[in-house]
Amino acid sequence: MPRVEPGRQRGRVTWSLAVLGLTAALAVLQAVDGPTVLRQALAAALSVLMTLGLTLRSGANAPLGTLFALLVGVVAVATQWDTLLAGAAVGAAVVAACLAVMGTRPAPGFARVVLEVVLALAVANAGGLAAAGFAANLDTERFDYTVLGLSVLSVVALVYRLGGGLHGLGRRGAMLATGALVLLVVVLVYAAAFTEYGSPELVRQGRSVQGWVREHLGGAPHPVEVLVGIPALAWGVAMRSRRRQGWWACAFGAAATAHVASDLIDRNDTVLGAVLTACYGLVLGLALGAVLIRLERVLTGRDGGRPAAVGQEPPRMQPLH
């Protein structure tokens, strides 16, 4: 494993502490409905830090990306132009969703898988606070789909670079990516069709059940997180402990991190409600992920073995290239 220079190590510690501090401050201000301009300023600062983290991790042009995020944030807050505030909110959520996936590490054991998924969702939640902090007037459904689409496409593009192209998929990886994509589309189309074309009585009953769950449990998990995003991320980090191909599974983990990052835009939800929703999705998604991991190892005859990829990937806060 490459040695980390003390100066860079201090920079990463400073970055982490700054992200934690801004996230905590935004959570408090969101809970007490603090001054809008202050929340927007903190949201812009957090977006800049997350952009810096993503560009460094992905090997992109960090100064250019960070400067762009800074300009968008400053101009949006200074002008209070709603379109720019909406764009800044989308950017914050997408960057956080991508960073959450790209910041993961290979996980040779299931306890480590749980840790990696929890950390990814925590990063996505921080991005959700930043997105909500911009206080833009948004169509929440359109916002959700925009963040989801941009996040999945962005992570797939980054993974494409990591794998050196589609040839890194292999037959099994191609089947995996195709299956995950089909399942994601089916879940999204079904949800949209249920809302738009379902009978009024059926839609009313569905919303009534969802309302009951939210009222009594504090939150309701999203199907796209439970059925696609979290299982894909869990399976991917486990697979990366043996082969780099696991990055392609991780790419679809953006379906979960994107939903978590866009949850707090719903003005009918609270910080606690969003956290509980993420927790319920985490438990159910990890259960399905555990089944996938076990099934894949049984089918491939790799129930153990040396976790070769752990030593091949750089540490969490170093560039992947």
**Most confident range, picked from 15-29, 169-183, 301-315:** 15-29
Task: Indicate the residue type of 46.
Answer: L
* Of the candidates 111, 128, 109, the residue with the CA atom closest to the CA atom of residue 50: 128
Any residues with CB less than 8 A from the CB of 134 and at least 6 apart, and which? 39, 40, 43, 44, 76, 85, 86, 88, 89, 92
User: 109 and 293 in contact (C-beta within 8 Å)?
Assistant: no
Local confidence band at 1 (pLDDT 50, 70, 90 cut-offs): very low
pLDDT tens-digit map of 208-236: 555 555 565 666 677 888 888 899 899 88
Residues 260, 225: contact at Cβ < 8 Å?
A: yes
* 279 has pLDDT over 90: no
Percent of the chain clearing pLDDT 90 (strictly above): 39
**For 156-173, how does the pLDDT look when each residue is reduced to its tens digit (9 = 90+)?**
889 887 754 555 555 665
Taking the C-alpha atoms of residue 301 and residue 237, their distance in angstroms, rounded to an integer, is 18
**How sure is the predictor about 266, in pLDDT bands with cuts at 50, 70 and 90?**
low
The model's pTM: 0.85
Structure confidence at residue 38 (pLDDT):
95
Angstrom distance (rounded) from CA 51 to CA 63: 10
Confidence label for 81 from pLDDT (cuts 50, 70 and 90)? very high
